[in-house]
Amino acid sequence: MKDINYQKHYYAGTRDELVTILADTLSEFRFQHILRVEAKALELADHFAITDLEKVSVAALVHDYAKERSDDEFKTIIVRKHLDQDMLNWGNYVWHGFVGAEMIHDELAITDEDILNAVRRHTTGAPYMTIYDKLIFMADYIEDGRDFPGVDDCRATTFADLDAGVAWQLKHTLNYLLTKQTPIHPKTVLTYNAFVANNK
Ligand code: DGI
Ligand code: FE
Ligand code: FE
3-state SS string for the chain: CCCCCCCCCCCCCCHHHHHHHHHHHCCHHHHHHHHHHHHHHHHHHHHCCCCCHHHHHHHHHHCCCCCCCCHHHHHHHHHHCCCCHHHHHCCHHHHHHHCHHHHHHHHHCCCCHHHHHHHHCCCCCCCCCCHHHHHHHHHHHHCCCCCCCCHHHHHHHHHHCHHHHHHHHHHHHHHHHHHHCCCCCHHHHHHHHHHCCCCC
pLDDT of residue 1: 58
Q: Is residue 19 part of a domain?
A: yes
Contact between residue 38 and residue 57 where contact means Cβ atoms under 8 Å apart: yes
| Residue 19 pLDDT > 90 | yes
pTM: 0.97
| Residue 49 pLDDT > 80 | yes
pLDDT of residue 149: 96
Q: Is residue 3 part of a domain?
A: no
Cα 115 to averaged position of ligand 2 atoms, centre (Å): 14
Give the confidence band of 3 by pLDDT, cuts at 50, 70, 90: confident
| Residue 7 pLDDT > 60 | yes
Ligand 1 atom having least distance to the Cα of 180: 24
Stretch 120-137: mean pLDDT:
98
Residues of the chain above pLDDT 70, percent: 98
Containing structural domain, residue 91: 15-197
| Residue 16 pLDDT > 70 | yes
Q: Is residue 109 part of a domain?
A: yes
Total domains in the chain come to 1
pLDDT of residue 59: 98
Q: What is the mean pLDDT of the chain?
A: 97
Q: Is residue 8 part of a domain?
A: no
Residues of the chain above pLDDT 90, percent: 96
Give the confidence band of 198 by pLDDT, cuts at 50, 70, 90: confident
Stretch 88-97: mean pLDDT:
98
Whole-number Å distance between alpha carbons of 36 and 34: 5
Q: Is residue 46 part of a domain?
A: yes
The closest residue, in CA terms, to atom 10 on ligand 1 is 123
Q: Is residue 76 part of a domain?
A: yes
Cα 67 to averaged position of ligand 3 atoms, centre (Å): 8
Q: Is residue 155 part of a domain?
A: yes
Residue type, 12: A
Cα 6 to averaged position of ligand 2 atoms, centre (Å): 24
Q: Is residue 72 part of a domain?
A: yes
| Residue 200 pLDDT > 70 | no
- The CATH number of the domain holding residue 139 is 1.10.3210.10
Stretch 112-118: mean pLDDT:
98
The closest residue, in CA terms, to atom 9 on ligand 1 is 123
